[in-house]
Structure 1
Amino acid sequence: MSADPRRSLPRTDVILGDARLRAATGRLGTAVVKNAVVTALAEARSGALPIDGIADRAHDLLPALATEMRAVINATGVVLHTNLGRAPLSAAAVEAMVAAAGYVDVEFDLADGSRARRGRGVLSALRAAVPGAEQALAVNNGAAALLLAVTTLASGREVVISRGEMVEIGDNFRLPDLMTVTGAVIREVGTTNRTSLSDYARAVGPETGCVVKIHPSNFLITGFTSSVGVAELATLGVPVIADVGSGLLLPDQLLPDEPDVAGSLGAGADVVTCSGDKLLGGPQTGLIFGRADLVERMRAHPLARALRCDKLTLAALEATLRGPRTPTSESLHADPQRLRQRCDLLAAALGAQVVPSQGTVGGGGAPGVPLPGWAVALDSALAAALRTGPTPVVGRVSGGHLLLDLRCVPPADDERLRDAVLLALGPPAAQRIP
């Protein structure tokens, strides 16, 4: 009777001595590599794996990075896809983050060796981007910017806001809940569909801390409607906070109905808040622009410390503001003819068809604004295989087809996308990869 070869399984430390696994330990950590080895040994013990394949299998089980998050190809046509991380960073922003990962002068003056204002480069870049702002401030997200602004100006006092702007922005996050946390009393005026300046005027009084104007960016109300603009609100004699949401700093002809920071300040808003990871195309941040005295009060508020950005975010934000055109801007303004050409090449390699596709801004921005383009239509049954493949691809399922819209796919990734689809299709399609 022959001996069971599984009894001669090598020890864990012997497998860990493989050169590839030793190198991976320095990149991923001992625990991750050891877990892969233990899994491979278990497969060999069950007979599902030959003994001489244990090291190879352990290596194959290792993740690419020491994080569970995986880079994906966004072929949905949604530029600011919240579930996929919203704005992809520019190469300049990524490079800046890598540089900031070590020791940096984030709060240090190299010239005289003293402490310096945190993120002073970002503040300078923000003011340069919006010259009409006397001062600016960055915090860790858009909700935090509004939270800090309302807390500073109206904690223990009243906030006047239109009922039509008491919005929910997703994941059960509701604006009234945020403003209640500030310690302010919400004073709603008008109705869901119509609010007039007289409604605000009757509500404003000695207890008013501020008026808040919210751009309802993730929905549309049409028909018998009316609202009050910033310029009219500025006549009420109390501070006006305008939250423009999507972070458009200057007007964009593609998005004529999307309010911008510069325009809101020019119309008379005392403070403007927005997100930095939407139309600006930067990292997750909340931006505050406005009157110097009010912004300085916010900077000095104890809450500002809890909401401040880390050094990586500051570096990426500054590089976004000072650097080249962002991937977000490239995707929004993509040439439909060029998109068609790229889709034709991909479709030819896959034996598929090209169909019209309507992209969207996403991230709660510019609802109803179409982004005409093109997509490659595949069998919808491929969606799961593409999402879970070695190179995850997320497309859009519509009308029984999986649509791969190239609007948000960098041209440099076209071959990776093609190869991922061919692999998902399986032989003999995968054999066509050159």
Structure 2
Amino acid sequence: MAKKFAKEHSAPNKDPRRSIPRVDELLEIYHATPSKINRERALEIAREVQADARAETPGRFSELSADDLAARVREEYAQRLGNTQPSSLTAVLNATGVIIHTNLGRAPLSNAAQEALIQASGYVDVEMDLDSGRRSSTRGKAPSQALVWALGTPAAEDALIVGNGAGALMLAATALCGIGGQIIISRGELIEIGAGFRLPELIEATGAKLIEVGATNRTHLADYAKALEQHGTTTGSATTRTAIFKVHPSNYRVAGFHAEVGLKELRTLADEYAIPLITDVGSGLLHPEPRLPQEPDMASALKDGADLVIASGDKLFGGPQAGLIAGKKSYVQALRQHPLARAVRVDKLTLAAIEATIYGHDTAPVLQALRSDPEELRRRTEKLAADVGVGEVIEHEGRVGGGGAPEYPLPGWALALPAGLSALLRQPTDPDTAVVVAREYQGHTLIDLRCVPEEEDAAVADALKTILDKL
């Protein structure tokens, strides 16, 4: 035994990296412990740990014995296995004050929607009649009926849920106009929706001809009428597949010398030429929101004369990414039966989350954050300041985000801390510490609790104290 020990520990020229455990030895740890990942991913992690150990052995591992180095590598592998999640997405606490934060996945789901997702993640009767045991054509019927019910207006005769807002717009343009058809829209509404995607390009991709009317800042009813006359449309019956589109430019505003045509006026023109009037209200409000008086909503758009209204599901509606379509039954049916509808169809998880969001709409986190009482936010922020023992409570304006209501700041409060803490909050060294996304502004790190569930305030405080204790 003494001879063996001497052989292992008295040879100064022996490369210590030879003691790094083999892959199969590390995989024994994987097989012996519960894990959320498969063997292939565990194998990849084992090789990563080996590579890191080989690279670092001349440095921080140089003083370790062969046995200690092997133990350290096994420990590192076990730790990485435990910290590896099935998804690369990391749960965070949004302390920016921006409600619909696109970089953070937009709307967080309500508890009801999360429960519905779990329930729908297994086998469900998405296309089966449980009475007969046969296939049914009821896919998406329940959430569509729920949306009609929630809008609460006779003008919402039918509804359809698709993959996202852009998909809803393209489906409407393709099914009702398409190749050889015409779409009339104000120049002031030819928006870029983000990531370089522009409305004119989306419409042109459908094969329809885009007819721009008016000017960037001013468009009048006569501009629409002139376009209809000049492009072969006669009163009483459209000679081509033509539609009027009205799009809410939610991510910017034109102020000053400005004019636009409302849906009620456009309705009279659409009736005169017997063509559909389609509007995209953007953010997905179902009904008027007093805190956002200029933000259009789906129900009002239908009452004002739109044949179809389109909105996003993951903004102020408060649900998963989806395109919400509601309006005249004949038009909704035309969209539902078009081949493109299959390409933008949503899965069972989205259907379940949409329905749950509708029936529990007032509990949606985005609406709770939007309607937060400033004084209640101040109380929570002052308590946070007392818990961490540092910082100043200051007034801070939250934002809707997601390209919605840019001109409406939301009064609130924030904890102002020394600059530069946000990077540390995003990357805590302790895996049990919450990841907090804060805001750097005017030489301070700002913690705004508007979008943080109150039950998570303590987690924010713990994250701050962990960082501040190390400074």
Provide the residue aligned with 1:219 in structure 2: 252
Aligned residue runs from structure 1 range 335-374, under 5 A: 335-350=373-388, 351-374=390-413
CA distance in 1: counterparts of 2:84 and 2:450, whole angstroms: 26
C-alpha contact 2:395 2:411 (8 A) present in aligned 1: yes
Shift of 1:19: 6.6
Match of 1:196 among 213, 220, 223: 220
Other-structure match for 1:125: 146
Q: Which residue of 1 aligns with 2:451?
A: 408
TM-score, length basis structure 2: 0.87
> In structure 2, how many angstroms separate the alpha carbons of the residues matched to 1:393 and 1:20?
33
Residue deviations 1:313-334, cap 9 Å, x none? 1111111111251111111011
Distance 1:304 1:19 in 2: 44
Q: Quick check: 1:37–1:54 contact (8 Å CA) kept in 2? A: no
Q: What secondary structure sits across from 1:211 in the alignment?
A: strand
Q: Secondary structure of 1:18's match?
A: helix
**Separation in structure 1 between the aligned mates of residue 89 and residue 30 of structure 2, nearest angstrom:** 26
2:123 match: secondary structure:
coil
Of residues 219, 229, 237, the one that matches 2:262 is 229
Aligned CA RMSD, in angstroms, stands at 1.7
> What does the per-residue CA deviation read over 1:400-422, in whole Å, with 9 as the maximum and x for residues that have no partner?
11111100011111121112222
Deviations for 1:14-39, whole angstroms, at most 9, x for unmatched residues? 23223786312xx1111222233333
Residue 75 of structure 2 aligns to a residue whose secondary structure is: helix
Is 1:115 aligned to 2:141, yes or no?
no
Segments of 5+ residues of structure 1 without an aligned counterpart are 430-434
Q: In the aligned structure 1, how far is the partner of 2:436 from the partner of 2:248? A: 33
Change (3 A) 1:399 1:21: farther
SS of corresponding position for 1:17? helix
- Is the alpha carbon distance of 1:64 and 1:352 closer, same or farther for their aligned partners in structure 2, counting shifts above 3 Å? farther
Q: Could you tell me how far apart the structure 2 residues matched to 1:266 and 1:222 are? A: 26
Q: 1:64 to 1:74 in 2, by over 3 A?
A: farther
2:202 corresponds, among 159, 162, 178, to 178
Q: Does 1:55 align with 2:82?
A: no
CA contact (8 A) 2:420 2:440 kept: no
Match of 1:83 among 75, 99, 103: 103
Partner amino acid for 2:111?
A
Tell me if the contact between 1:377 and 1:403 (Cα under 8 Å) persists in the aligned partners.
yes
Match for 1:231: what amino acid?
K
Cα gap change, 1:51 to 1:120, in 2 (>3 Å):
same
- Cα 1:332–1:109 change in 2 (3 A) is same
SS in 1 for 2:134: coil
Amino acid at match of 2:352: A
1:101-150: CA deviations, max 9, x gaps? 11111111111122222122111211111132000000000011111111
TM-score, normalising length: structure 1: 0.94
Q: State the distance in 1 between where 2:425 and 2:41 align.
A: 25
Q: Which residue of 1 aligns with 2:18?
A: 7
Distance, in Å, in 2 between the alignment partners of 1:426 and 1:13 is 41
Instruction: Verify the 8 A CA contact 2:414 2:446 in the aligned structure 1.
Output: yes
**Rg larger in 1 or in 2?**
2
- What residue identity is the alignment partner of 2:454? P
**Which one of 39, 49, 54 corresponds to residue 40 of structure 1?**
49
Distance 2:74 2:204 in 1: 57
Pair 1:318-2:341 in alignment: no
For 2:187 and 2:304, how far apart are their aligned partners in 1? 22
2:116 to 80, 89, 96: 96
Tell me the equivalent position of 2:329: 292
Distance change >3 Å, CA 21–CA 174, structure 1 → 2: farther
Q: Tell me the SS of whatever aligns to 2:291.
A: coil
| Structure 1 residue 372: Cα displacement | 0.6
| Mapped partners of 2:278, 2:197: distance in 1 | 20
Residues 375-394 of structure 1 correspond to what in structure 2 (within 5 A)? 375-389=414-428, 390=431, 391-394=434-437
Q: Do structure 1's residue 418 and structure 2's residue 461 form an aligned pair?
A: yes
How many residue pairs match? The answer is 426
> 2:21 touches 2:73 (CA, 8 Å); kept in 1?
no
1:44 touches 1:51 (CA, 8 Å); kept in 2?
Answer: no
Letter in 2 for 1:60: Q
**Greater CA drift, 199-208 or 254-263:** 199-208
- Distance (whole Å) between structure 1 residues aligned to residue 369 and residue 39 of structure 2: 40
1:149-198 superposed Cα distances (whole Å, 9 cap, x missing partner) = 11111112111110100111221110000110111111111100111111
1:36-70 CA distance string (max 9 Å, x none): 33333344444345322223211322444212111
